[in-house]
Structures are given as structure tokens and as C-alpha cells.
Structure 1
Amino acid sequence: MSERRTAVDLIWWLILIGFSISILFPLIWILYQSLKTNREFFQDVWQLPEVWKWLNYAKAWDKFHVGTAVLNTVYYVGLSLIISLTLTSLNAYALTRIQFKGRKLIWGVIMLSLFLPGLTALIPQYVLMRELNLTNSLTGLVILDSFGESAFYLLLLGGFMQSLPKELEEGAFMDGASLYRVFLQIIVPLSMPGIVTVAIFKFLELYNNFLGPFIYLSDQSKYTMAVNMYHANSTMQYSADWVTLFAGVLITMAPSVLCYIWFQRSIMEGATLGAVKG
């Protein structure tokens, strides 16, 4: 039985290693392509560079206006993350810890929204944003992504808050604490693992968001990182400076990859704990 289990474990290890290689190989390939010259790239895409061209990254930063895109992304992602995380925490607390009429109906509508594809709201959202003069505006994107509540994040954070003992709030209310104070000083600290998990997921989603900025932003000076690299890729049919493009792609990927590497334990532990408690 132990030998059979060991053989099965070995098979699973081989599958996981193969899956990991399939993910890492493209990244490694892009890395050493970004350190070549264009002549070396077109001569042989598999050959290692003769001299490591680290200046390709500086060239990509200037040529593709990466600095401007970084500032736009920081503004869009940072402000959207703060506002949406605050609203998600408040909504999760209200729907899991406060008893009021219509609470079950609201939860039912939220659950129903899980079955609706997001693309169905694309046209109404665009018409509304256009009528409010919020197109081609990073602030408009912040408003759109901050106030559009996600049922997944609400359910995840609600699972944390719902598991907390009710006696904590009752004792605080008996001591004269207000609802605002109970939320900030009791619920938020105890729900911090869930809040951190939601914050990481939201950051990755906002940073990698392409469709929204691509649709609503028409001014190149307002492009986020994702749209900026798409625009850079579209110019390759005229310049064919692929090694510089690869360098720009790696610069764009770095924040999200580093974020996942640093917080992968929090992501796995938080998501698992939320699933158990929910």
C-alpha cells in the first residue's frame, strides 16, 4: 500500500513539475530574449545572447512611456483599492452582523449576480459613463471599479466576519460603544486576515485589468500599464523592436509577480480559512 501511494505521489510530483515548467519556461524565454539585440533575436530565437543588453530595459522605459503608465496605474489601482476595500468591509459587516428587514433579499440578489456575465453590463455602463462625462478619465475608472461591488469578495470577507462571536459586539455595546467604534476596533482587527486576502486579490485584479481602461481611455498619456503595453505591441508592425518590447513586458509583469510571491502564503491561508469559516 505504501509503495502504491509512493508511486501515485511520484506521478503527481511529475505532473506538478511539468505544470510549473509550462509556466516558468515562457517567462525565462522572454527574459533572455529581452537581453539580446534584434539581430540576435531574428537570427536564432533559442540562442543565448552574446552580451547581456541590460540597456534594453532603460530603452523600454523611455520608448514606451512606462514611467507615465506607472503613475497612472498607481493612481488608478491605489485609489480604487482603498475605496473598494472600505466599501466591501462595510457591506460585509452590514450584511453579516446587523439584523434588518430585507437582508436576506439583498443576499439573494447578490447571489443572483454571480450567474450574470460581466459583459452584459458593459454597454449600459459605457452609456452611463459617457453621459456623466467620465470617459477618458482615470477618476471615472476609479469610480466605476470602486462602487461596482464584487459578490466574490463580499462572500469571502463575509465568511470571516460571520464566524466572529456575537458576544464581542454585545459586550462592547453594553459598555457604551457605538456601532462605528465596534466596527473599527473589534470587527476590522479580527477580520484582518480576510481583509488582507481580499486586498491582494483586488490589487491583482485591478493591476491586470485591461478591458476597462482599454474601452474608457483614449488619451495615451492616461494609459495604465496593461493598455500601454498593448499599444506598444501594436507598434511592432512598424518598428519590429521585439527585444525592447520583451523588456517592457517584464517591467509590466514585475509588480504582480512580486506581489504574488510575497503574499502567496497569505493568499492560500486566507482563501482556505474563508472557505472553511464561510
Structure 2
Amino acid sequence: MSVKAQKPKAKIKANSVVGNIILWLAVLAVILPLVWVFLTSLKSNQDFYSNVWGLPKEWVWSNYARAWERGNIGSGVINSVVVSLGALAVNLVCSTTSAYALSRFEFRGRKALYGLYVAAIMVPSIITLIPQYFMLLQLNLLDTRLGLILVYGLSSVPFSTFMLFGFFKALPHELEEAAMIDGAGYIKTFRTIMLPLAQPGVITVMIVNFIDYWNEYYKAMSYVTTPSKLTIPVGLVQFTQQSQYRIDWGALMASNIIMIIPTIVVYCIFQNSIQKGLTAGAVKG
């Protein structure tokens, strides 16, 4: 009996070891390229070609200053921050109110409207590139940060609404009834009670969308042409194209490090909130 009882434990332990190995391999697959990019950002071009995989022979920190100045990374960072935060504001106003209305109120066509939101998530964003271009053209919003903010913020409303729907739907109706008895209207109830209770979901949506806005390239390239208004992904590509036959690898990799730092910092700060939000959304949805 004792021998039989030990077999399942040994099997569980073996599975755990295999799982840990797979996880560590996945971690290395993500971290090692980032470490290589960081080390390359501190090399001279000569050092890069003669010592691709090794440590820098001389730590060239001036690559970051050169990338910031010659590659217009500074203006790209500012434009990306403005566009990302503006798009987040537009998205949250639209998605939180939509998710609250769809999850808490009964009205004709509610299920069809919710199904339309879900169907919109499945549409590849590249398909909407040309229609959105002509819409911005008619509104005189091409080559403006405002146009990019509206495109980003409104395009992600279906996904954000879908994510927040489960959070609002799971909240007790007694809270709304108590607020109504105290004289609070729908807007005040939403703003002071329902929205704070859905905070984990709201934070999760904010972070996921921020990373998406920050890294987006095709729409920013298509809708904005003025160099001073370009976001950082487009600026990086143009910086590479300007190099022509001789790429400044140190400055280019420094530009990539500057680009990914904000997303890493944001994720590290809100990591626990994101995990709670995803878990709660999975259970409540």
C-alpha cells in the first residue's frame, strides 16, 4: 500500500519539474533577447561587428544621447505619451459607460448590441485602415494627434467593453437599489459606487490598451506625416531608414531600449492589479 501511495506523488513531482523547466525556458526566451539588445546599445559599431555576442569592450553610454537627438526619440516619446493617454481617456469614458449600460439595464436590442461589440473584436484592425483614413480626411483630422487619439481610443472600445461587461454584471443589484433610495441618480451611482468596485477590471483594460497604443505602428504611419508629430515606433523605423547603408547599431538599440522602458515600468507597477483583474474577470464573466 505504501509503495502504491508513493507513485502518484512521484508522478506529480516529475510533472512539476517538467513544468518548471518549460517555464524557465520561456523566461529565458523572453529575457535573453532583451539583455542582448541592452548590451548592444552600449557598443560601438566596430565592437558590434567584431563582438556580436560578447560584453561591450567599452561601454558607450553616448549612444543613448545620440539616439535621443539624431533619431528624434525625444519628440517621439512625448507624442506617444500624449496620444496614449488621450486615447485611454476616450476609451475609458466610452467603454465603462457602455459596459455598465449593457450589463445592468434591460432594453430592446441589448443582446444584439452586445453581440455586435463581440463581433467587432474579431475584425482585424488592418481592415479598418483605409475607411478610418477617409473618415479622418473628411473631418480634417489627418496628420493630427487628435485624429490618432480618436482612432486608437474608439477602435479598442469593443474589446474594453467586453472585458468590463463581466465586472459590472457581477456586482450586486442591492448596491444600486440602496443608492437609489438615498436619492442618487444613475450617473452618480455609476460614478461613486459601480466604477470604483470595477477598479481591477478598469486597471487591466488601461494597461492592456496602453501597451497596444504605445507599440502601434501601421495607423500612426498612415495617418501622421509631420516628423514632429510622429510616435516613437514610426520614429524608430525612420531612424533606421535614415542610416541607409551604414546602420548605427548602438544608437538604434538604445532607441529600442528607450521605447520599451515605459511599458515595462507600467507593467511592473500594476502587475498585481492586472493579475487580479484577469482572474476576477475570468471568474465573474
TM-score (ref. length: structure 2): 0.93
Q: Take 2:169 and 2:206, find their aligned partners in 1: how far apart are those partners? A: 19
Amino acid at match of 2:114: W
The answer on 1:151 being equivalent to 2:168 is no
Q: What SS class does the counterpart of residue 244 from structure 2 fall into? A: helix
Q: Give the distance between the partners of 2:34 and 2:119, measured in 1 at CA.
A: 38
Q: Does 1:79 align with 2:86?
A: yes
Alpha-carbon distance between aligned partners in 2 of 1:7 and 1:203, rounded to the nearest angstrom: 40
Q: Does the Cα contact within 8 Å between 1:157 and 1:195 map onto a contact in 2? A: yes
Deviates more, 1:110-119 or 1:250-259: 110-119
1:28 aligns with 2:35: yes
Instruction: Identify which range, 77-86 or 233-242, moves more after superposition.
Output: 233-242
1:6-25 maps to which residues of 2 (within 5 A)? 6-25=13-32
Q: Deviations over 1:101-131 (max 9, x none)?
A: 2212211222222333333222211111122
Structure 1 pair 149–252 and aligned structure 2 pair: CA distance change class (3 A): closer
Q: What are the Cα deviations for residues 23-75 of structure 1, in whole angstroms up to 9, with x where unaligned?
A: 11111111111111111111121222122111211111111111111111111
Q: Structure 1 residue 172: deviation in Å?
A: 1.1
After superposition, what is the alpha-carbon deviation per residue over 1:178-209, rounded to whole angstroms, capped at 9, x for unaligned? 11111111111111111111111111111111
Alignment of 1:90-129 (within 5 A): 90-129=97-136
| Alpha carbons 1:236, 1:242 under 8 Å: kept | no
Q: Does 1:256 align with 2:263?
A: yes
Tell me the CA shift for residue 88 of structure 1. 0.9
Quick check: 184-193 or 95-104, which moved more? 95-104
SS of corresponding position for 1:100: coil
Contact 2:117 2:159 in 1 (8 A): no
Question: Aligned match of 1:194 in 201, 210, 213?
Answer: 201
Counterpart CA distance in 2 for 1:250 and 1:107 is 40
Structure 2 residue 79 is the aligned partner of structure 1 residue 48:
no
1:230 pairs with 2:240 = no
Q: 1:164 maps to what in 2? A: 171
Unpaired stretches in structure 2, ≥5 consecutive residues: 1-7
- 2:46 equivalent to 1:39: yes
Secondary structure at 1:218 match in 2? coil
Which string of whole-angstrom CA distances, capped at 9 and with x for unpartnered residues, describes residues 128-178 of structure 1?
112222111111111222233432221111111100011111111122111
Q: Contact 2:143–2:225 (CA<8 Å) still a contact in 1? A: yes
Q: 2:183 aligns with which of 173, 176, 179?
A: 176
RMSD after superposition: 1.4
Match of 2:279 among 266, 272, 276: 272
Q: Structure 1 residue runs of 4+, over 3 Å off?
A: none
- For 1:235, what is the secondary structure of its paired residue? helix
Counterparts of 1:129-140 in structure 2, within 5 Å, are: 129-140=136-147
Question: What TM-score do you get using the length of structure 1 for normalisation?
Answer: 0.95
Matched-pair contact (CA < 8 Å) for 2:200–2:274? no
Greater shift after overlay, 140-149 or 63-72? 140-149
Query: Aligned with 1:239: secondary structure?
Result: coil
Query: 2 CA distance for matches of 1:116 and 1:241?
Result: 38
Q: Which moved more, 1:50-59 or 1:149-158?
A: 149-158
The 2-side partners of 1:114 and 1:248 are apart by: 32
Matched, 1:215 2:215: no
Identity %: 36
